[in-house]
């Protein structure tokens, strides 16, 4: 996809991987709108020339704010990147709200945005949906069961809508990052990819027409999983 002059929306685009995707799309010539929860971070992005929408995608009003914010605009690229972790514990009912918050943000919101913005995307000569999942969608970690489940669900959804839109000019892309150096992973030890390098692979995949962008070690993970799912899970636990 030639992103020059195209309007892109990056959810969770004021921090982490999303911010790097937004910066690199902008550098490639796209007009970019980012969403986020932090007014301060959104103000920083606005100063860099980005459109901004304040929204909490864990609630319906947050999704409404995003849809309203791009209404009547020629949106050609939707990047569903926003995501949160969960403090869910299997034997603790008090953590169910944390699980629900994660599901609403990571799975419900991208589905809602794909559905509600599809007509706008279809109206453009060329368009794409990019859903950012994770290597954990392939090989889940026991310590992050809800997060992994949301990413696996989004992966399945992405594959399904790719088939549904196969005869349209709306491409559907899945990006699968490994463990990346972000605020979400700040307390986690082990090898991490930089957000800049992760975003570079994703943006390259968008521009070169890939349907699935396996970032960094996820390329290897996909191969290992096809041979031994158990070994793939051990790799994710290590990293």
Catalytic residue numbers, as ranges: 147
Q: What angle do CA 37, 161, 11 make, to 5 degrees?
A: 15
* C-alpha closest to that of 217 among 184, 185, 191: 191
Q: How far apart are CA 10 and CA 25, in angstroms?
A: 10
SS3 206: helix
Query: CA 226 to CA 35: how far, in whole Å?
Result: 36
Residues ≥6 apart with Cβ < 8 Å to 90:
145
Task: Provide the 3-class DSSP secondary structure of residue 209.
Answer: coil
Residue for token pair 């020629």: 74
- The residues, ordered by sequence, that sit 6+ positions from 203 with a Cβ below 8 Å of its Cβ are 21, 24, 25, 28
- Crossing angle (nearest 10°) for helices 16-27 and 195-208: 50
Residue for token digits 């930089």?
194
Say how far residue 34 (Cα) sits from the centre of its chain: 12
DSSP letter, residue 192: -
């Amino acid at each position: 996809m030639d992103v020059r002059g195209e309007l892109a929306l990056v959810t969770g685009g004021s921090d982490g991987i999303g911010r790097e995707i937004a910066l690199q799309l902008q550098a490639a010539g796209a007009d970019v709108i980012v969403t986020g929860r932090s007014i301060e971070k959104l103000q920083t992005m606005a100063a860099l020339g980005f459109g901004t929408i304040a929204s909490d995608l864990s609630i319906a009003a947050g999704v409404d704010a995003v849809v309203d914010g791009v209404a009547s605009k020629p949106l050609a690229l939707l990047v569903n990147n926003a995501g949160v972790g969960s403090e869910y514990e299997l034997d603790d009912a008090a953590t169910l709200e944390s699980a629900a918050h994660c599901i609403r943000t990571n799975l419900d919101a991208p589905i809602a945005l794909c559905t509600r913005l599809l007509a706008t995307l279809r109206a453009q000569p060329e368009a794409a949906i990019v859903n950012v999942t994770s290597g954990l969608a392939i090989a889940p970690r026991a310590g992050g069961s809800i997060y992994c489940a949301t990413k696996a669900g989004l992966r399945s959804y992405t594959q399904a809508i790719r088939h549904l839109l196969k005869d349209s000019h709306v491409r559907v892309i899945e990006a699968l990052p490994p463990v990346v150096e972000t605020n979400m992973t700040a307390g986690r030890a082990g090898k991490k990819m930089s957000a800049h390098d992760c975003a570079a692979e994703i943006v390259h995949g968008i521009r070169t027409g890939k349907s699935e962008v396996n970032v960094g070690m996820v390329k290897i993970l996909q191969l290992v999983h096809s041979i031994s799912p158990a070994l793939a899970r051990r790799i994710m636990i290590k990293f």
